[in-house]
Homo-oligomer: A and B are copies of this chain.
Amino acid sequence: MTEIQRPGALYQQVAAAIREAILSGEFEPGAPLPSEAQLIQRYQVSRPTVRNAVATLRAEGLIEVRHGKGSFVRSDGQPAVTIERRVSRTAKGRFTTPDGSEWDEAEVTAYRSRTTRATGQLLGLDTEEDLFVCDRLLVDPASGTRAMHRMLTPFAIAADVPVFGEAPGPTLTAAYEIMTQVGHKLWWSETVRARMPLPDERSTLRLPDATPILHVARVTHGTNDRPLLLEELRTGADRAELAYRITADKEPARRGRA
């Protein structure tokens, strides 16, 4: 039985006590926490209070709760997948996107859509402009990590290159290759964000509780900085990380909001 007498609400004091026990190593990663009944005894509080405390730690990503089994300390292991966001050109003139691990394509769906305010801005278009969209569900075979990939191609770009008009459209590598052969000198502008997943993203990516999504939007630019296509990659941040390699170079001209 541990004394509780700190700041804030009762359940926060209980949560703080358990958190401290976890961070201090009293409960090892993977080890089970005491059951709700035991926590009620230990801290002399009611069941709702214990559940509130447990819910708090769960939202912090510190523990994982399994129905009928108990609560377990999450292991803060290294990410299983390192996504390297450098695009290189091989000797043969091919573009490759080294991902650390190669993804398997589990599902591919292609359809037509229109720009939203956000996607239009990234592509240098207005809203409600026509697009080809190709969604891919990617799976890392080694770890089972999942990712959602979306490629958006404006009609104006696809018109220059017939392949883009046909479903499901070319693969990414092929798209890059084609763009280069057409004479574009490519560069990429990426923005990285994180947010909590919506329920459908949670289930598609098979994410545990309190797992944020890493959301990468990459705009491929060609000659004259013309935006050619937009990629969006969404994956759970619990097992994936992004890796960049940056080299100092000359001051680049400011090209507006990335």
Contact = CB atoms under 8 A, between A and B. Distances in A.
Contacts of A90: 251
A179 to B, nearest CB: 11
Interface in A188-229: 188-199, 210, 212-214
A75 interface: no
Interface residues of A, number: 52
A91 interface: yes
A125 B61 CA distance: 29
A101 to B, nearest CB: 12
A247 interface: yes
A85 B246 contact: yes
A198 B196 CA distance: 16
A243 B252 CA distance: 14
Nearest to A197: B60
B245 A84 contact: no
A206 B101 CA distance: 36
Contact of A248 (B61, B186, B241): B186
Q: How many copies does the complex hold?
A: 2
Nearest to A61: B196
Contact of A61 (B188, B195, B199): B195
A193 B245 contact: no
A157 to B, nearest CB: 18
A258 B243 contact: yes
A193 B241 contact: yes
Contacts of A198: 60
Contacts of A91: 251
A79 interface: yes
A189 B248 CA distance: 11
Interface of A: 16, 19, 55, 59-61, 79, 82, 84-91, 95-96, 186-199, 210, 212-214, 237-238, 241-252, 257-258
25 contacts: A19-B199, A82-B191, A85-B244, A86-B252, A87-B248, A88-B249, A89-B249, A90-B251, A186-B248, A189-B243, A189-B246, A190-B242, A191-B241, A191-B242, A191-B244, A192-B192, A192-B243, A193-B237, A193-B241, A194-B213, A194-B214, A195-B212, A212-B212, A243-B258, A244-B246
